[in-house]
Structure 1
Amino acid sequence: MSEPLDAESLAVRAELLDLGNRWKQRAAQLDELDDDDDSDDLDPSLSEAHERRNQLTRRYRQWLPEIPLTRDPHSGDALHWPLDPVDLDGWFWNYEAPVRRLPARFPRLWLTLTGAMRIAQPVTYTPFLCKPGPGAPYVVPRILEAPDVRAVISEVRVGRHTGWAIAYFGPRPGVRLENEWGTQEYYVYDDDGEWKGWSQNTPWPADWDFDLEPWLSSGRLLWIAPGDSTLTLRQGPASCPYLGIEGPHELAYIVEGTLEYH
């Protein structure tokens, strides 16, 4: 749903990741040496490695382009999300230590963002654990069954991979939410949209429903057509491109070019 990044932006990303990964590896090596050495000789080098890595991390966070992602069915507000659309080797997709930037403003009834992804072959090499979701779009009934809660599904291209973002909007449902797409936690907001902290949920495929038709028919699930940068909300199962998508219903685990589903 976004314009392709230009060559300069892609080059900046590539340089940030390359240098950042090198400095992270260097810091890890120095950490090991530091554990075996009681002297302070390594401290300046170790501090430099961590600082260089941190600088590159901050630059990457600011680099993230804002992608037209979804729209709040209650208010009509559009939501653009800072996201790495190039590939899964970007630190945005690091499950254990994601490098992300929150949108400047959330709709007042924002709840959470989940997602799924069809992984293209060959599997992207990631030097970290990546969990981009199951292989087909789904909803979380315990959230979507709550009064006045609505979900919106949209397509997100991440390089060669096809992602599906499922955003939830509505009053606080009184049940635990789902972790933010690709991470191990979710942010908690009050009814005025003010950030209050974060919480965690253990992802469990048995909690998910991949049969989208009843949710579309009920009006609880809405959709945005693939490639629609206007984020026009559509209702009902007729012509919905997200019905019947086949793929693993387990969670994808990607690390160092290997892909497994659990």
Structure 2
Amino acid sequence: MTADEPLAERAWLIAESNRLSEQESPDLNRVQEVNRRYRALLPEVTVARCPDSGQVVRWPIDVYGLDGCFWNYVSSVRRPPQPLPRGFLAMAGAMRLAEPVEHPPFAVVPGPDVPFVVTRILNSPRVRAVIAEVPVGAHTGWTISYFGPRPEDIELVNLWGANTYAVYRDGVNRGWSWVVPNTADYDFELTEWLRSGKLLWLAPGDESATLREGPDGCPFAGLPGRRRISLIRNGMIQHLGAFAGNGAG
């Protein structure tokens, strides 16, 4: 298979998915087949290394663009990751948009322009986070993954680009929950978190996925950009402080 073949199939599957979504009564078997083929095309991307076990975390992500159904905020089409470390908690994300911005027929919520941490999670005892850069088409994305003991009575954070998050225990999905995305819960000033050792990072392009500590040389702290959540919908881009978690309304 040449490098262009997955992209050509992806383009055809997206067009077919959009065509089916416009039908009043689409063929459900056809919808399922298109979704199955789309899931199979998602490349696995390194998003973190567990600070406790050292296990590399790879996630199937549509890195070709925001027009794929992976990025459908309300009804995403995704493939579960391979077995996760026992201490994996959640993975949020941020994205700096670049032209041209895709405008698919569904809402896309890629996050703020710059990476952040969710303070209620990272303040929990023995919880640490890892930032990694993940390019998506012309855009620059970042994943922020959390590891450690499951904090009691604390909401986590929705999965990057989705309106829910899986509740993992011992690396196994035990159910689903959701929160209202709200930048009041985010801290965009990363330097002190990096200095404390609570926040670690992977260098862009480092295939060894070596965990790095401290602010020296970290390219993710102090980045310019809006500290608001991007919402792409109906051909427009909005930048919001918060919005309803299950409908992007």
Whether TM exceeds 0.5 here: the answer is yes
Is the Cα–Cα contact under 8 Å of residues 23 and 50 in structure 1 kept in the other structure?
no
Name the CA distance, whole Å, in 2 between partners of 1:227 and 1:238.
Answer: 17
Asked if structure 2 preserves the Cα contact closer than 8 Å seen for 1:153 and 1:224, the reply is yes
- Pick the aligned partner of 1:104 from 62, 76, 82: 82
Match for 1:237: what amino acid? P
Of structures 1 and 2, the larger Rg is shown by 1
What is the aligned-residue identity percentage?
A: 49
* Alignment partners' CA distance in 2, 1:202 and 1:125: 23
RMSD: 1.2
Give the aligned partner of residue 37 of structure 1: none
What's the counterpart of residue 11 of structure 1?
A: 8
Give 1:254's aligned amino acid.
Answer: I
Deviation of 1:67 after TM superposition, in Å, equals: 1.1
**1:182-261 map, 5 Å:** 182-190=161-169, 192-261=170-239
CA distance in 2, matches of 1:77, 1:103: 13
Partner of 2:155: 176
Runs of 4 or more above 6 Å deviation: none
Q: Which runs of 5+ in 2 are unaligned?
A: 241-249
Aligned residues: 238
Matched, 1:158 2:136: yes
What is the distance in 2 between the residues matched to 1:117 and 1:246? 12
- Pair 1:142 & 2:139 matched: no
Partner of 2:73: 95
The secondary structure found in structure 1 opposite 2:32 is helix
Give the secondary-structure state (helix, strand or coil) at the position aligned to 2:111. coil
Amino acid at match of 1:23: L
Alignment of 1:71 onto 2:49: yes
Conserved? CA contact 1:187–1:199, under 8 Å: yes
Are positions 1:52 and 2:30 aligned together? yes
Structure 2 Cα separation of the partners of residues 144 and 58 of structure 1: 35
Contact 2:93 2:115 in 1 (8 A): yes
CA distance in 2, matches of 1:255, 1:155: 24
Identify the range of structure 1 (181-190 vs 218-227) with the bigger mean alpha-carbon deviation: 181-190
Query: How many Å separate the matches in 1 of 2:236 and 2:206?
Result: 32
Give the superposition deviation at 1:144. 0.4
Alignment partners' CA distance in 2, 1:184 and 1:113: 12
Q: CA offsets per residue over residues 99-145 of structure 1, 9 Å max, x none?
A: 00111201000000000000112321211000000111100111001
